[in-house]
Amino acid sequence: MRTLNGAQQAHIAQENTTFATCLKLTLSDATVLGYTNHDKDLIVSGVTYSASSGYTPSDIKNTDQLNVNNMDVQGLIITGGVTEGDIAAG
């Protein structure tokens, strides 16, 4: 089970709520790129997540174990010079 902090609990208690997802890519050369589906850029833990990428996340698969959650992402990465070949190569 996940524990929400006070701000998150207050947010989801409202009649209307929103959440944004952030996608962080760490390239093999240690370059870090951030993307979000929010309508403006977000800075989280020192990483700027760009709102201009236009990706759509799938449902996030959660478990009650300590394993990593999984999500598929569809969309276009238009910043940072990352190509489809780069992603396929890891």
Phi and psi of 66, rounded to 5°? -100, 15
Q: Which H or E run contains 7?
A: helix 6-12
Domain ranges of the chain: 16-61+69-84
Q: Give the CA count within 13 Å in the CB-facing half-sphere of 33.
A: 16
Top pLDDT among 39 and 87 is at 39
Give the model's pLDDT for residue 88. Answer: 77
pLDDT by residue (tens digit) across 24-55?
A: 888 888 888 888 888 899 999 999 998 876 66
Find the mean pLDDT for residues 54-68. Answer: 62
Which of 38, 39, 37, 35 shows the shortest CA–CA distance to 48? 35
